[in-house]
Amino acid sequence: NEYRTVVLYFMDQDDALAVHGEMKQMENMAKQDLRITCFSLGKALRQAGNLGNGLPTGSPPDELTGEMKTPQEGGTLRYKVVPPKRQLYYAARCIGKERVGLFNGNPAEDAQMAVFGNAAIESQNLMRRREKRERKTSQKFSPMQLQNLHMNGYTGIPVFYAPEMKRVPPLLKRVLTGTKHEVPLFFNYEDMVDAWDKLRQCNAKNPIPE
């Protein structure tokens, strides 16, 4: 069911505050005690990884049959990690944007959709999934889109990296794992840019591209 109730884990505080404000403006939610709490990424991913009916909510089973209540009755919940729209905006202008489900031919259109927010992104994803089910003729895709067709109609969590940015792990780790270099991954594009600038400053004798 595309419209089932889900619990949202936000990776950006501003996104969580925006949804919190929208919910407080609803007439039936105005008097509710709505709070924003913090969880570890590991817990969020573990819970979001349970597909199907999701996880039990703690609602007691039926007293006569002992069966768990259905999702419609509040017996289970699905969890979803919401990608930060700010980082989706940056991802829309990077090579490989199709890997996180940004399939518009014009990067500016993907960036604009990210600015509109999660509701607009999810609405577009629903439309794309319906088009895939109902399409009778083949559609032309770029080589990058063909490699990531499974993401068409879905939005992933963008992670940024620069291939030239590498770090040398501690000696013991190099000996035990045989790893000579590690490429750091960043959930935040600005953090990657800051790390890149620091790397260039520390290697003034060896020019590093901007």
What span, in angstroms and rounded, lies between the C-alpha atoms of 155 and 122?
Answer: 8
- What are the b/e assignments for 109-139, b being 16+ CB within 10 Å? ebbebbeeebeebeebbeeeeeeeeeeeeee
The tokens describing 138, both together, are 């083949």
Q: Is the pLDDT of residue 206 over 80?
A: no
Can you tell me whether residue 145 is helix, strand or coil? helix
Report pLDDT digits (tens) over 50-61: 877 778 877 777
- Nearest alpha-carbon partner for 19 in 139, 117, 113: 117
What span, in angstroms and rounded, lies between the C-alpha atoms of 180 and 120?
Answer: 43
Residue 78 pairs with which residues in a beta bridge?
6
- pLDDT band at residue 4, thresholds of 50, 70 and 90? low
What span, in angstroms and rounded, lies between the C-alpha atoms of 130 and 62?
Answer: 36
Mean per-residue pLDDT for 15-32?
85
Q: What is the pLDDT of residue 53?
A: 72
Count of C-beta atoms within a 10 Å radius of residue 205: 5
C-alpha R_g of the chain: 22
Can you tell me whether residue 163 is helix, strand or coil? coil
Q: Is the pLDDT of residue 107 over 80?
A: yes
Dihedral angle computed from the Cα positions of residues 70, 71, 75 and 80, in that order, rounded to the nearest 10 degrees? 160
Q: Is the pLDDT of residue 15 over 80?
A: yes
Report pLDDT digits (tens) over 110-128: 888 888 877 788 888 888 8
Q: What is the pLDDT of residue 9?
A: 92
Q: Which of 97-101, 134-138, 204-208 has the highest mean pLDDT?
A: 97-101
Average pLDDT over the chain reads 84
Q: Is the pLDDT of residue 42 over 60?
A: yes
- pLDDT band at residue 97, thresholds of 50, 70 and 90? very high
- pLDDT band at residue 158, thresholds of 50, 70 and 90? very high
Q: pTM for the complete prediction?
A: 0.76
Report pLDDT digits (tens) over 43-89: 998 888 887 777 887 777 777 887 877 777 777 888 889 899 999 99
- Tell me what percent of the residues of the chain surpass a pLDDT of 70: 94
| Cβ pair 195, 165 in contact under 8 A | yes
